[in-house]
Amino acid sequence: MRVRACFTGQRAAGLMAERLGTVTGWLPLTEVRSVLFGKALVSSGFGVGGGIVAESDDAALALAGAAQAHAASGGFSNIELRGGVIPAGWESWSDKHCGFERPLATDDEAELRAIPRKARAEVRKGLGFGHRVTVGRSADDLAAHYACYSASVRNLGTPVFPRALFRAMLDAFPDSSDILNLWDGDTPLASVLSFYHGGAVLPFWGGGVFAARAARANEVMYYELMFHARRKGLARFDFGRSKTGSGPFAFKKNWGFEPQPLTYAGWTAPGAPPRNIDPTDASYSRKIELWKKLPLPVANTLGPWIARGLA
């Protein structure tokens, strides 16, 4: 097992299976420690996918057993695998999250036609405002992104990730990441931090300020990102995952993306309660409504500490 510090304050662990000196399996794990949400091993924390990668059933079984042993020794009561092999005897589900992906069109007009009528009309309205679009990786780009993203998640009732996470990801992928910002004069309206991998653009963290809604800034932002990705020679738009039945789920579906159920798996230590960080759970509704009312500086101060437990 290999362990290293993670820029979110958690530790990243890696379990490796070997046979006669040859690697036969790998399981990345994030060690989540939270006063509010307990301790869990997540593969992969702060990501869409993860889980066991193995060339044989024996290797997968060994990695699952090693993960359970690591959980027991470290006091982790839950393990969540976001994809990969489903270990025998573990719980699995396919009804909580969906992925959204489709090919990019050949040109701007074809891209508009690929968007269903109602969403297409919103994009056209937004384009009519003539907002300035920039793409970059500078400190100013990141500041604009954090201003938009932190306001967006606060308005949704979600704690924001630390600013250091976004800087670290840009530094880790200098040739395959950037930030697209949409501006009203010198004021950022909407922003998305994206990655480029395997012929696809992955808009990973995006959002807009309150004024973005009237300006249709989020619609224009994603349309402009599609244009930007085509110029980079990419062929697919990977819209990531969304909670089934949530607002982002509906937004992506309205854009013509077909939801694809994601199968995850979990293990819970005997006698321990399952980990619950589901924002649609009724037990969180009051907390979410209170969070939406926090002044943004307060939410941005408290949010990163809480978000560590939402890996």
Q: What is the pLDDT of residues 174-190, one digit of tens each?
A: 999 999 999 999 999 99
> Which amino acid belongs to residue 225?
L
- Examine domains 2-94+263-275 and 98-260 and report if their fold is the same: yes
Task: Name the token pair of 64.
Answer: 């699952």
pLDDT at 23 over 70: yes
What percent of the chain has pLDDT above 70?
97
Classify the phi-psi angles of 50: left when phi > 0, otherwise alpha if psi is within -120 to 50, otherwise beta.
Answer: left
pLDDT value, residue 208:
97
Instruction: Report the pLDDT value the prediction gives residue 311, as an integer from 0 to 100.
Output: 74
- Compute the mean pLDDT over every residue in the chain, rounded to the nearest whole number: 92
User: Is a pLDDT exceeding 60 seen at residue 2?
Assistant: no
pLDDT band per the 50, 70, 90 thresholds, residue 234: very high
Q: What is the pLDDT of residue 302?
A: 94
Say yes or no to pLDDT of 5 above 60. Answer: no
Residue 6 confidence (pLDDT) above 70: no
Residue 131, pLDDT > 50, answer yes
DSSP-derived 3-state class of residue 74? helix
- Flag whether pLDDT at 307 surpasses 90: no
Task: Taking residues 139-164, report their average pLDDT.
Answer: 95
Could you tell me which residues come within 8 angstroms of residue 188 by beta carbon, excluding any fewer than 6 positions away?
144, 145, 147, 148, 181, 182, 209
What pLDDT is attached to residue 70? 94
Q: What CATH architecture does domain 2-94+263-275 belong to?
A: 3-Layer(aba) Sandwich (3.40)
So where are the chain's domains?
2-94+263-275, 98-260
Place 45 in a pLDDT band, splitting at 50, 70 and 90: confident
Give me the CATH code for the 98-260 domain, please: 3.40.630.30
Instruction: Say what the pLDDT of residue 46 is.
Output: 83
Instruction: State the greatest distance between any 2 C-alpha atoms of the chain, in Å, as a whole number.
Output: 63
pLDDT tens profile 46-58: 888 999 999 999 9
Q: Report d(CA 174, CA 182) in Å as an integer.
A: 21
- Per-residue confidence at 3, pLDDT binned at 50, 70, 90? very low
Model pTM score: 0.91
Buried b (16+ CB within 10 A) or exposed e, 189-218: bbbbbbbbeeebbbbbbbbbbeebeebbbb
